[in-house]
């Protein structure tokens, strides 16, 4: 056997890994209720028509050329305008359009981390924040977020986790998987810690306009002197996850990221460019009507509230209702093996969720994540099965 690289063996992605046993059930003709993946299009959401039309017209007009490696200039300018709405001062030269936020993360970690160097990420966290630093021989260290405090970051724990090899602090706000939103006070505290230790911040803002009650504030606005790399894209707010168009924006007031910037831009040139017609679709998304966002959040609010009510009615479960995004990170009281819990729920009741330890083996354990994207009728059937599973589990 010709062996695969050691680094490839390190890759895990719990959200899609759990699909493998679900597919086995489906091959047997068993219907599986899927609550695992943050894809609105899998349910009853649709990409707004004007965005689809712009991309389709780009294809029909043979906009099939390579774009500049950094992205189409007109799209990068629209991104600059969008960031200015949050009080973030950048230029086109600070922006790279990427194949989703995931590619942006890979570029950042590849450019920033030498072997053994560390990045602090929230615990629990979106799995690529653990997988990709490891892939590049870096060390992801999770900092505690406090469930009893709405999954807010523990600033003292962030301080304790910083060492001589720490390079950056990652912030996912609103958060995946918990749906937490970090307000200005918390962001200021994180920024102060980063500045004190000469670190930069990676700010993942893909759910920025998916807040139920609050107005979004970027850490790049809270701390205007702090070096920040902002991540965002079309997937969530504009309901086009399969288009794989995102961006990174480097806000670097003192030039401390110049070397990392060079490493990122070198990678962008080497991989040629992001999808050209779909960049034109994203341009239409940013500059076109935004009314679908309010409609989306109204639907999600009803579904969030339904799930929160059902969870609180089921003995042995509890949840902190999310302030943003469309995830519910549900605690299973007394659970010692959350992966086994999720797999047993799948095999016995045919409901697919994601085990909490897949988002962090320390701060995610004893939980499972679902999406509150499906219609209430779908969620009702799923939670009827979950409730039945919990009753049977208690009786064992």
| pLDDT tens sequence across 242-254 | 999 999 999 999 9
The number of folded domains in the chain is 2
CA 40/CA 51 separation, integer angstroms: 16
Which of helix, strand or coil describes residue 250? strand
State which of 234, 260, 287 marks the end of a domain. 287
pLDDT score of 224 more than 70: yes
CA 249/CA 349 separation, integer angstroms: 44
User: For 63-79, what is the mean pLDDT?
Assistant: 97
CA 121/CA 299 separation, integer angstroms: 30
CA 309/CA 202 separation, integer angstroms: 34
Share of the chain above pLDDT 70, in %: 99
State which of 287, 314, 334 marks the end of a domain. 287
Which pLDDT tens digit goes with each residue over 294-308?
999 999 999 999 999
* Global pTM value: 0.94
Both 66 and 16 in a single domain?
Answer: no
Which pLDDT tens digit goes with each residue over 145-176?
999 999 999 999 999 999 999 999 999 999 99
**What pLDDT is stored for residue 345 in this prediction?**
97
Taking Cα atoms as reference points, which of 77, 71, 116 lies closest to residue 97?
71
pLDDT score of 4 more than 90: no
Both 86 and 235 in a single domain?
Answer: yes
pLDDT score of 396 more than 80: no
Taking Cα atoms as reference points, which of 196, 195, 197 lies closest to residue 219?
195
Q: Residue 260 is part of a domain; what is its CATH number?
A: 3.40.640.10
Sequence-ordered alpha helix ranges (H) in the chain? 6-9, 14-17, 19-27, 49-60, 73-85, 100-112, 128-135, 155-161, 184-196, 219-222, 258-270, 276-287, 291-313, 338-349, 376-395
Instruction: For residue 332, tell me if it sits in a domain.
Output: yes
State which of 240, 256, 287 marks the end of a domain. 287
Total residues belonging to the chain: 396
Average pLDDT across the chain, whole number: 96
**What pLDDT is stored for residue 94 in this prediction?**
98
Task: For residue 1, name the pLDDT band (cuts at 50, 70, 90).
Answer: confident
**What pLDDT is stored for residue 10 in this prediction?**
80
pLDDT score of 367 more than 60: yes
Instruction: For residue 1, tell me if it sits in a domain.
Output: no
Task: Output 153 or 22, whichever has higher pLDDT.
Answer: 153
On the CB side of 294, CA atoms within 13 Å amount to: 3
Both 251 and 316 in a single domain?
Answer: no
Both 339 and 387 in a single domain?
Answer: yes
Task: Give the C-alpha distances (Å, rounded to integers) separating 222 from 86, 192, 199.
Answer: 10, 10, 16
**What pLDDT is stored for residue 126 in this prediction?**
95
pLDDT score of 385 more than 80: yes
Both 103 and 209 in a single domain?
Answer: yes
Both 280 and 143 in a single domain?
Answer: yes
Which pLDDT tens digit goes with each residue over 324-345?
999 999 999 999 999 999 999 9
Range of the domain at 231: 51-287
Virtual torsion, Cα 357, 320, 182, 170, nearest 10 deg: 0
């Amino acid at each position: 056997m010709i062996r695969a690289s050691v680094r490839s063996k390190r890759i895990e992605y719990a959200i899609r890994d759990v699909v493998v046993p679900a597919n086995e059930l489906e091959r047997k003709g068993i219907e599986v209720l899927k609550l695992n993946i943050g894809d609105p299009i899998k349910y009853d959401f649709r990409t707004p028509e004007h965005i689809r039309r712009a991309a389709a017209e780009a294809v029909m007009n043979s906009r099939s050329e390579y774009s500049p490696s950094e992205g189409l200039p007109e799209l990068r300018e629209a991104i600059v305008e969008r960031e200015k709405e949050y009080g973030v001062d950048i230029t086109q030269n600070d922006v790279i359009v990427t194949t989703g936020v995931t590619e942006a993360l890979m570029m950042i970690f590849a450019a920033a981390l030498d072997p053994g160097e560390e990045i602090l990420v929230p615990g629990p966290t979106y799995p690529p924040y653990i997988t990709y630093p490891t892939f590049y021989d870096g060390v992801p260290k999770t900092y505690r977020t406090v469930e009893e405090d709405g999954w807010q970051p523990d600033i003292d724990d962030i301080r304790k986790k910083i060492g001589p090899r720490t390079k950056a602090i990652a912030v996912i706000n609103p958060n995946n998987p918990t749906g937490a939103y970090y307000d200005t006070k918390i962001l200021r505290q994180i920024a102060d810690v980063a500045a004190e230790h000469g670190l930069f911040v990676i700010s993942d803002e893909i759910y920025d306009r998916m807040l139920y009650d609050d107005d979004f504030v970027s850490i790049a606005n809270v701390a205007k002197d702090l070096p920040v790399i902002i991540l965002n894209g079309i997937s969530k707010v504009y309901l086009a996850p399969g288009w794989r168009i995102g961006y990174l924006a480097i806000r670097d007031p003192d030039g401390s990221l110049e070397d990392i910037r060079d490493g990122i831009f070198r990678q962008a040139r080497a991989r040629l460019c992001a999808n050209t017609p779909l960049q034109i679709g994203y341009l239409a998304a940013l500059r076109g009507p935004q009314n679908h966002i309010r409609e989306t959040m109204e639907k999600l609010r009803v579904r969030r509230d339904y799930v929160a009510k059902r969870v609180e009615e089921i003995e042995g479960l509890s949840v902190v209702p999310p302030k943003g995004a469309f995830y519910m990170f549900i605690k299973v009281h007394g659970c010692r093996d959350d992966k086994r819990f999720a797999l047993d729920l799948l095999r016995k009741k045919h409901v697919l969720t994601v085990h909490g330890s897949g988002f962090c083996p320390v701060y995610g354990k004893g939980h499972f994540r679902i999406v509150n994207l499906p219609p209430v009728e779908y969620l009702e059937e799923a939670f009827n099965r979950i409730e039945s599973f919990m009753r049977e589990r208690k009786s064992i």
